[in-house]
Every structure is written in structure tokens, then in C-alpha cells.
Amino acid sequence: MSTLIIAIILPFIAAACLPYLYRKIRKVHIGWFAILISTILFIYLARYIPGIASGETYTHTVNWIPSYGINFTAYLDGLSLILALLITGIGSLVILYSIFYLSAKESLGHFYTYLMLFMGAMLGVVMSDNMMVLYVFWELTSISSFLLIAFWYQRKRSRDGAKKSLLITVTGGIAMLIGFIMIYVMTGTWSIREVISSAGSFTDHLLFIPAMLLVLLGAFTKSAQFPFHIWLPDAMEAPTPVSAYLHSATMVKAGIYLVSRFTPIFGVEATWFWLVTGIGLITLFWGAFNAVRQTDLKALLAYSTVSQLGMIMSMFGLGSAALHFGYSTESVVYTQATFAALFHLVNHSTFKGALFMVVGIVDHEVGTRDIRRLGGLMTLMPVTFTIAMIGSFSMAGLPPFNGFLSKEMFFTAVLTIGEAGIFSLDTWGTLIPIIAWVASIFTFVYSMIIVFKTFFGPYQEEKLEHSAKDPPIGMLIAPGILALLIVGIFFFPNLLGDYLLTPAMTSIFPTFAVGNLGVHVSAWHGFGMELWMTIGVVIFGFLLYKSRKKWMVVYRILPEKWSFNSLYSNLLVQLEEGSTAITNTYMTGYLRDYMVYIYLFFVIAIGGTLYYTGAYQFDISGNAEISEFEWMLVLVMIIAGISILFAKSRLTAILLNSILGFGVAAFFVLFRAPDLALTQTVVETVTTVLFLVAYYFLPDWKKEDVPRKSRNVNLIISISVGAVFTIVALAVQNGKLFKSISSYFEDSYELAGGNNIVNAILGDFRALDTMLEVVVLLIAGIGVFTFIKLRAKKEDESIED
């Protein structure tokens, strides 16, 4: 097995071992074992940077279901390497932060197990070439994130947030799976690389647009795009390390990764361009607009994350316009939007991860995240303030921080796209830079709220649970490293661009010349329109921030009952009430009703299939003659079966039922099957005895007066089931599609050395099945013995008392 596949599996192995280590080794914090795994993975993946930068890709395959073309293929290129480094790098910093953030009283064994499961699932998503394997890991991210969000399961809001995220992301994942199946139908392969290599050859297929829409649905739900963004703010009920990891650097980037990976396949289509760009811009504006109204710092960061994800998504949509032109000098201009998207993908992980950790520090040290209770923390928490300022100003797009560079490139992309002359951009395209600029103003406003409302103004100690102070150094290392990266990337952006971003561009635009895909990033790019837009953002953003109390009334225009959260809650309530009403109609609590449902389904499904296919035809002319003894036995069994219906005591019913069993044993004797006859006799005898023993402990039986209507229904169903069973048996006998296997078992002496065919079948041909049946009986016997011993012990204790 290759080391690349081992890198994906290693976190799962760690997840299996961490609970054991947590129980056995108490002197060492379990988080140090987890950080060892993530750090090793980060160093290992970083070794691929030179090779990836030189244009190499790495592929390793392990067969899984080769007959269906489903294999575990790990594929590492520029795009997957960026995400893999973020997953392991940010993961290591988050684990380091969590070691000092979480209390030792927490269930740390579970926490780091879930975290390792999530890390492995995310690595599987970004490094899987097979679409079905990618889907498996995709759903594993949903499950593991559900466990992490609900880590504090004793809190109702944590449970509700986890449930909402699971419902929305899994629903999108199922849609994505259907889209993958459609792609397979069109191309005949599950390999993403093979699909990309044949891109353009199936754009006229009827399934092309439906597959595109379903794949986008999966991406939009996972990356919290409008209107599926509602799960992300509620997911903030998770511990802060979870928010810093899942909702800034990893899980929410899975949908963005999916869009970027499938851009070569669908990007040439106008529907893809407008959906990805349009939904991204709407999400960008809506998230920024709602972030300003939040009073909880973590909720503010949640909506800001939604907004930033929309910004990245829209840039990938804008960049897909380059595929419309094919490879040309004109098209390369539009690929710069994709470069900006990848750049901001990295930048967002740095400043948002740092900000989540800062909010966690504030909450940890003063006991609240409520902006209305905060203020004046700058002098009391100077290190925390410095990190918060760096992260917030980067998010606002101010120099000298990395967010400024990618935001300027975003402005360049929205200004340039109108010149493409495709997809009706000459008309609707004018709205793109306007929406982007307005959303950036709100981004500036909420970034200023984080800094000035938290760290400036009066210090309100009476409203805090603890006195403010900087946390221990261990809690500051991780956000401090991210803050250094924010500044370092601003001054040396082309190191990132040349070694990671340009190779990732090659993955998204495989037919373009590599040398033309790279972009030289410079902090100073002259007094262009982009810089004037930034200056306008600062001026108008500052004015809106200062006059915030005057215009906050706009948030009251839309009633709360019309919000997407309310719509989701109402829909959930309606679905629960509806399902309860439907369930109550058939879950009556009466065994008879359930048997009616089962038998009716059998009659309709099997009988209908027989009638529809014409398979009910049969011919009994070639059957053996029925002897007098057989007719007599049949008549006795019929009389016994009918008599059970009229029995007035349990004893009579049990004896009549035993006649049926012993009658079957007699048939085995007539058919010269002594072993089966003996087995049937023993089973029937034991069953009859057990019935009689149970009868001894049951109360007196009073036969219920069944309504005539119910009796008629019972009669019709009984006759129908009997008729269908009989027709099935006759049809099966007549419609032999394959050669009978009995001729094979006739050679049991030569094959197994057994003179008795039945014994040879049970002991040799299906020995494994027989062994498992014996195991089942053994387990059942142990269970019965245990119950008897428990009851005897309980009786002994009662006697002693």
C-alpha cells in the first residue's frame, strides 16, 4: 500500500487508538498524540511541494470493487495539495490551541477521536480520484462534523445545530451522489481525471445539465451557500476549536473544492457560470449584511464566514468564463479570477482561524462573547488585541495584510468580467462589481465591530464573569502563528503563488499553458479602479459603522417569521407532524392490522408481478401421480387446518396445529426422506410441548367476538395468500431457468465421501452456513441460560430478604 493512501488512512487509525490511549495514559494530555499525527501528515505532504510545483502529479490505487470500476485511488495535484496542507496544517494549530482551551474534565478522548475522523474524511475528499470513494468520504465529513458540533450534547442548541447541519449537508450529498451516477452514465467511468480528459464530448447529453445542478447542490449545501447557509451559524454551538477548524479552513471548503475540481467539466456552460457566480455573490452580500446585526462575536464570525465563502465561490464562477474561449490570450485574463479564489481560500483560512481562536480566548478569559458586555480590553489583553486587529483588518481587505491582496484581485475580476462579451454579461454583468463593492462595505463594518466594540471603549468589568487578562502562552501560539502568516503572505505572496497556487491553476485548467496561468502578485498596483473601490469601501464603511444605530432599523423590515431559519423550523415541524399523523394511521398497536399490511403487500406485489409478466402459467401434466395415502394425509391436514379456526380452547388449537406438523413429517416418510422426517418430528414434538408449557402459564382464553367485516377480510386475505403461494410454487416448478443443482449433489459420495445426501449438504457443501446456525443456537442458549440464572439469583435474594 502506498504512503499516499496510508496518509489518508492514518487519521482513522489514530481515531481508533486514541480512546484506548486516553483511558490508559492519564499523565500525558491526549491532544499531544493527536497533534503528533497531524504534524507528521503536514510535514509528509509538504515534501510534495517541489514536485507539484514542477508539474508532477502523484497517483496510487488500491482495488476495492474493480468489477464496477470503483477503486481507492489517491490523486495528489496542485489543487488537492493546497487543501491537504490546510487540513493538516490548520488542524495541527487547532489541536495545539484546544489542548489549552478545553478543560481536562471534558470528554477529550471523544473530542480528539472525532477530530481525527474528520481530518481523515477531509483528506479522503480532496485526494480521491474516484467519485464513489469521494462520496463515501464526503458523507463521513458530515457525520464526523455532526459529532463535533454536538460535542456538548447536553445543550439543546448544540443538538439542534448538529441536526440542522447533518440534514442539510447529507441531503446535498445524496443529490451529489445522483449527479455522480449521471456522470458515470454519460462517460462510463468513475475517475474524475478520466471525466476531465473527455470533457466537452458529452455536453450535449440529456443528463449533462441535471448532473451539473445536482453536483452544485451538494457543493452549495456543504459550503453554506445561500439559501443553505442557515446551518453554519447554528453550528457555532460547537467548541471554539471545532469552529476554527471546520468552519474556517476545512469542511466549508469541501464544497468550494468540489466546484473547483469540476470546473473543467461543467465550466464551459453558461448555467454553471451564472449559478456559481450568482449564488456566490448573493451569499457574499447576505452573509456580510447579516453579520453586522449580530451581538455575539461567534455568530458574527459565522455570518462573516458565509460571506467570505460566497466571495470565493463567486470568483471560481467568474474564472470559469475562461473555458468558454478555450486556450487563448483573451481567456487567460479571466483565469486570474480563479487564481484570486485560490489565493483568498488560503488567506481566509489564516485570518478566520486566528479570529475564531481570538473569540475563544475572549470567551475563555472574561466569560462572555456578547458585544454589548465587552469593551476596553485592549490594554488588559494586548497580545489578544494585536492578533484580533491583524485578523480583522485582513478580513476587511486593508494593507499590510494578505486579505488586501486577494480582495484587490477580486475587484479586478469583477471589473474585467464585463468585457468578456459572453453569457449576457454586457447587461447583467454590470451588477457584479456593484454587489461585490456593497458587500465589501459591510465586510469592513463588521470587521471594525470586532476590533472597536471588543477592545476599545469603556471597560465593563461588572458585566463580565472574570477579570480580563491575556491567556496562557500556550493558547496564543496557534493564533500568533496564523497572524504571522497573514503578514508574511502580504510581503511574500509570490512564494505561495509560484509553489502552490499556479500548480492548482494547472489542475483547474489542464489544457492551458502553465506559464500563462501564474499571476505575479504585487502589494502596490497603482491608482487603478480597484484601489479607488477600496478607498470607497473604507470611507463608506467608516460612515456606516459610526452611524450604525441610525440605520439598524432596516433589519426589522423583514419579519423574523419570514427568515430562512423560521422557514426551516416550520418545515421541520410540518414534516414531523405530518409523519406522525401518517404513522398513527397504520401503527394501531394491533398485530392483526400489521399482518394485514404484510399479506396485502405480498399479494399485490407478488401476485401483480406474476400477472403482469405472465409468469403464473404452469403445466402439471408431467407431475407424478398422487397416491391414496397422500390424498388421505392432505384431507386430514385440511380438516385440521380449518378446525383450528373453530377451536374453543387453546389446548384444542395446539393439538390441531400439531397434526399439521406431524402430517408434514408423514409426507417426508412417504417421499423417502427419513432424516427430514425425523427432524420434523423432533421439532414438532418440542414445539408442541413448549406450546403446552406456555399454555399452562397463560390466563383463561376467551375467544373474542370478531366483527363480521373483519372475518370477511381475514377470509379474503387468507385465500389470496394461499392462492398466490400455490401459484408461485407451481410457476417456479414450471419455469426452470437454470439446470437443477440436485444433479450436482447426487455425486455427494465422490465429492464429500458421504452416503447420505442431506448430511453431506449440511456438513460439507454448506458447512459454513450450518456452523453459523449452530453459533446462533449457542448464543440463544447462552441467553436463555443467563435469564434463568438471573431469575434464580433474584429469587434467592428475595428469600434471604
Q: How far apart are CA 245 and CA 261, in angstroms?
A: 22
pLDDT of residue 126: 95
Contacts of 247 (CB under 8 A, 6+ apart): 232, 235, 236, 302, 305, 356
Q: CA 196 → CA 274, 363, 511, distances in Å? A: 21, 47, 10
Provide mean pLDDT across the span 695-711: 73
The dihedral of CA 339, 342, 345, 348: what is its sign? negative
For residue 36, the tally of other CB atoms under 10 A from its CB is: 13
Q: How far apart are CA 421 and CA 130, in angstroms?
A: 36
In tens, the pLDDT along 286-331 reads 999 999 999 999 999 999 999 999 999 999 999 998 887 776 666 6
Closest Cα to residue 679, out of 669, 670, 689? 669
In tens, the pLDDT along 103-150 reads 888 889 999 999 999 999 999 999 999 999 999 999 999 999 999 999
Residue with cell 480532496: 126
For residue 669, how many C-alpha atoms fall within 13 Å in the half-sphere facing its CB?
Answer: 12
Among 273-277, 684-688, 689-693, 797-801, whose mean pLDDT is lowest?
Answer: 797-801
Query: What pTM was computed for the model?
Result: 0.81
Q: How far apart are CA 417 and CA 585, in angstroms?
A: 58
pLDDT of residue 484: 96
pLDDT of residue 132: 95
DSSP code, position 744: H
DSSP code, position 292: T
- Mean pLDDT (the chain, rounded): 88
Whether residue 348 contacts residue 484, with contact meaning beta carbons closer than 8 Å, is answered with no
pLDDT of residue 703: 63
Given a cut of 90, whether residue 572 has pLDDT beyond it is no
What is the percent of the chain with per-residue pLDDT over 70, rounded to a whole number?
Answer: 96
Strand, helix or coil for residue 340: helix
Confidence of residue 794 (pLDDT cuts 50, 70, 90): low
Cα-flanking dihedrals φ and ψ of residue 61, to 5°?
A: -125, 135
Q: How far apart are CA 93 and CA 505, in angstroms?
A: 27
In tens, the pLDDT along 358-408 reads 999 999 999 899 999 999 999 999 999 999 999 999 999 999 999 999 999
Burial class of 58 by CB neighbour count within 10 A (0 to 12, 13 to 18, 19+): middle
Burial class of 309 by CB neighbour count within 10 A (0 to 12, 13 to 18, 19+): buried
Q: How far apart are CA 288 and CA 294, in angstroms?
A: 11
Kind plus residue range of the DSSP H or E element containing 75 = strand 70-76
pLDDT of residue 512: 75
Whether residue 123 contacts residue 165, with contact meaning beta carbons closer than 8 Å, is answered with no
